[in-house]
Amino acid sequence: MSRIDRVYEKRGKTAFIAFTVAGDPDEATSLRVAKALIDGGTDILEFGVPFSDPVADGPVIQRADERALAAGTNPDTIFRLVKAVREYSDIPIVFLTYYNIVHKRGIDRFYREAREAGVDGILVADMPVEESAGVMVAAERYGIDPIFLVTQTTSDERIDRIAKKARGYLYLVAVLGVTGVRDQVSSEALELLSRVRKHTDLPLALGFGISLPDHAKTCTEANADGVIVGSAIVSIIERNLGSPESMERELKEYVAQMKAAIHCAIRE
């Protein structure tokens, strides 16, 4: 059983998935961020691989990508960072990346090095399921869960196609548009959760726009198997760039608050 599968072994539990851009604002601080998120109670750690054109991301995460790239972050940096996290914790680690990064490194090499570092799942944000054959071969070869996005505009036919290839969990995009904090979880997001559930028994995690304890509670009560938070976490990093100690403290407190909201919610 994979590390990700172990998180979802008891399906009455909603997992908290924390996203941070690897190497933001630099390698050493990024490791401190990862450890703070883990210490706060994160169930799955999602590293964004910094990219110069992150089309799925809003301005907060774009700025984090820019900081990481300016610090010299590259795949070697990221694999080294994963190894350091793996020495600290057995937490499942997922990459969110873009296809150009994988292709430039070489698909087989990227997945092999990811496995050697301790990565459990990879989501290639701009890769359609119809063009995923090469990645699927490498994912199978190295025992890495291929994770796919499902959006509100994804047809039932494509959901079936995606669900047949995906492992670990499906990443359900809660909003139309890019990443970023929103005021509330939309009814459309909850409808997407219900619609996708009819097609698969894979765990379903909602992301994009989720930032508040009330959001986590709403998603949990709608039977989401996971809640993914990125921009709110990256915002904490951004406003504490001059004080790593404050950054760590706020991150731990934030994760604890989100986890408390999940635990207090009653799943149907």
Q: Kindly provide the b/e burial profile for residues 71-89, where b requires at least 16 CB atoms within 10 angstroms of the residue's own CB.
A: bebebebbbebbebbeeeb
Dist CA 258 CA 99 (whole Å): 31
Lowest mean pLDDT: which of 9-13, 64-68, 141-145? 9-13
Sheet holding 121-124, edge to edge: 145-147, 121-124, 93-97, 44-48, 15-21, 226-229, 204-207, 170-173, 149-150
Residue 256, Cβ density class (10 Å: 0-12 exposed, 13-18 middle, ≥19 buried) = middle
Q: What's the pTM?
A: 0.94
Summarised one tens digit per residue, pLDDT across range 60-112 is: 999 999 999 999 999 999 999 999 999 999 999 999 999 999 999 999 999 99
Is the pLDDT confidence value at 181 over 60?
A: no
Q: Which of 24, 27, 43, 57 is catalytic?
A: 57
Q: To the nearest whole percent, how much of the chain has pLDDT over 70?
A: 96
Tell me the chain's radius of gyration from C-alpha atoms. Answer: 17
Examine the residue annotation and report whether 46 is marked as an active-site residue of this protein: yes
Examine the residue annotation and report whether 57 is marked as an active-site residue of this protein: yes
Q: Which of 24, 27, 43, 46 is catalytic?
A: 46
Domains of the chain: residue spans and CATH: 14-264 (3.20.20.70)
Reading phi first (left if > 0) and then psi (alpha if -120 to 50, else beta), residue 126 is in: alpha
